[in-house]
């Protein structure tokens, strides 16, 4: 029986793109279903009734939600080109850093870009602490996973791509080569990789979307 793999996502979501990158690295054929989060489809609400968010992976009709959970599911289901390390300790460390990115880094980076100007200096300092922590973890490695893109690198896609585009839109430069030379080198290696480059949104389209969002946010304050 042929496997049926579908991905419910949003084109500009770093979380949806994580799953697309993992599927492409694995060579898994899938159908992509774009949804509008301002008018959530019955399929999305049925597939993820708890969070009502993207991404959702449908594998032979069974839904799996939450991007990091989906990445692990993909790695366990399709064994080729593993994205998690083989050793249990290394796997635990990869999960730790992915969780750190989601729970600490992304909120801090998002806040540094979107907060009010009076709060920006403190917010940028908090974001810098997170970026420095990642810089120290990366050290002399090409990728967080070593010589090839792995679980943590995929989890860090917001830092590798979205932060730069968002920073340009709101006028906040966070990831600079003078402050974070190791992370900047990682970013260039990461987005330069063909499978990553091919599965990122257009910089122009993403910038235009974020600019519209920034303008509407400033008008509502």
- pTM to 2 decimal places: 0.95
Q: CB-side exposure of 89: number of CA atoms within 13 Å?
A: 0
CA–CA distance, 105 with 218 (Å, rounded to integer): 24
Q: pLDDT tens digits for 51-63? A: 999 999 999 999 9
Domain ranges of the chain: 3-75, 86-217
Q: How far is CA 64 from the centre of its chain?
A: 17
Closest CA to 106 of 13, 211, 203: 13
Kindly indicate the confidence band of residue 220, based on its pLDDT and cuts at 50, 70 and 90. low
CA–CA distance, 48 with 34 (Å, rounded to integer): 15
CATH class of 3-75: alpha beta
Distances (CA, A) of 211 to 10, 38, 87, 153: 17, 18, 43, 26
SS3 22: helix
Q: pLDDT tens digits for 77-124? A: 999 999 999 999 999 999 999 999 999 999 999 999 999 989 999 999
Using the 8-state DSSP alphabet, how is residue 54 labeled? S
CATH class of 86-217: mainly alpha
């Amino acid at each position: 029986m042929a496997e049926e793999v579908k991905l419910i996502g949003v084109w500009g979501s770093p979380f949806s793109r994580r799953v697309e990158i993992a599927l492409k690295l694995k060579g898994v054929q899938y159908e992509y279903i774009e949804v509008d989060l301002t008018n959530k489809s019955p399929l999305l609400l049925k597939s993820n009734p708890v969070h009502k968010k993207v991404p959702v992976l449908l594998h032979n009709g069974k839904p799996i939600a939450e991007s990091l959970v989906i990445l692990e599911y993909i790695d366990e289901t399709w064994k080729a080109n593993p994205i998690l390390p083989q050793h249990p300790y290394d796997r635990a460390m990869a999960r730790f850093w992915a969780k750190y990115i989601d729970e600490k880094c992304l909120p801090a980076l998002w806040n540094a870009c979107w907060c009010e100007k009076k709060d920006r200096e403190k917010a940028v300092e908090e974001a810098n602490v997170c970026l420095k922590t990642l810089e120290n973890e990366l050290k002399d490695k090409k990728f967080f996973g070593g010589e090839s893109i792995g679980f943590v690198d995929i989890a860090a896609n917001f830092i590798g791509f979205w932060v730069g585009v968002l920073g340009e839109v709101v006028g906040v430069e966070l990831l600079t080569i003078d402050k974070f030379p190791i992370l900047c080198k990682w970013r260039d290696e990461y987005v330069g990789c063909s499978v990553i480059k091919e599965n990122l949104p257009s910089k122009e389209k993403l910038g235009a979307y974020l600019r519209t969002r920034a303008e509407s946010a400033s008008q509502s304050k």
